[in-house]
């Protein structure tokens, strides 16, 4: 069985949050994602809200029983967005691609929107493999969460 074939999703539990915080704090992951890590306070506030929101579908990504990352579908500005994050030591094994494929079976509403920096080639490929199409490319201004970067807004319709 390949690593990707062993991927399963389960609901995020409060005891996943410390590991998720560590993943989202990893400098190399933030460089790739072109993001600025959240502070502990911002992270805790975001996830407390997300886990209480019935419109948010947030899943831990497991390989067998091992925690490998997280993936979620959440409402932003009235649109359904997806996002994902894989532990650096587990990159390049097909885990994000499989996790997104599994999430798309559970979350059936469409369209789904996904935004990725155009430099994040692995994420662009994951989205392409799952059927997302680039709808527009624009320069996203710097914010608390993102450095200025060119981003591709994808949709799965």
Ligand X SMILES: CC(C)(COP(=O)(O)OP(=O)(O)OC[C@H]1O[C@@H](n2cnc3c(N)ncnc32)[C@H](O)[C@@H]1OP(=O)(O)O)[C@@H](O)C(=O)NCCC(=O)NCCS
Q: Is residue 72 within the footprint of ligand X (CB under 6 A)?
A: no
Q: Is residue 93 within the footprint of ligand X (CB under 6 A)?
A: yes
Spatial separation of the C-alpha atoms in residues 60 and 105, rounded to whole Å = 15
Least separation in angstroms between residue 71's CB and ligand X is 9
Least separation in angstroms between residue 44's CB and ligand X is 20
SS3 of residue 102 by DSSP: helix
Q: Is residue 97 within the footprint of ligand X (CB under 6 A)?
A: yes
Kindly write down the DSSP assignment for every residue of 108-153, as one continuous string. Answer: --S-EEEEEETT-HHHHHHHHHTT-EEEEEEEEPP-SS--SEEEEE
> x/- site string to ligand X, residues 14 to 43, per CB under 6 A?
---------------x--xx----------
Spatial separation of the C-alpha atoms in residues 103 and 116, rounded to whole Å = 18
Q: Looking at 86, 113, 130, 155, which residue binds ligand X (CB under 6 A)? A: 86
Q: Please, what is the angle between helix 17-25 and helix 40-52, to 10°? A: 130
Q: Contact positions toward ligand X, by CB under 6 A? A: 29, 32-33, 84-86, 91-97, 116, 120-123, 125-126
């Amino acid at each position: 069985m390949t690593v990707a074939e062993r991927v399963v999703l389960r609901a995020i539990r409060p005891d996943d949050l410390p590991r998720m915080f560590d993943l989202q704090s990893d400098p190399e992951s933030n460089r790739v994602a072109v993001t600025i890590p959240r502070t502990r306070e911002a992270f805790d506030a975001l996830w407390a809200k997300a886990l209480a929101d019935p419109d948010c579908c947030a899943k831990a990504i497991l390989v067998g029983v091992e925690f490998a990352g997280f993936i979620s579908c959440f409402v932003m500005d009235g649109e359904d967005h997806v996002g994902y994050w894989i532990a650096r030591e587990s990159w390049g094994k097909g885990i994000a691609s499989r996790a997104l494929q599994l999430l798309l079976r559970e979350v059936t509403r469409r369209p789904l929107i996904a935004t990725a920096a155009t430099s994040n080639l692995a994420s662009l490929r994951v989205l392409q493999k799952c059927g997302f199409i680039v709808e527009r490319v624009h320069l996203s201004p710097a914010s608390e969460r993102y450095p200025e970067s060119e981003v591709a807004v994808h949709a799965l319709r």
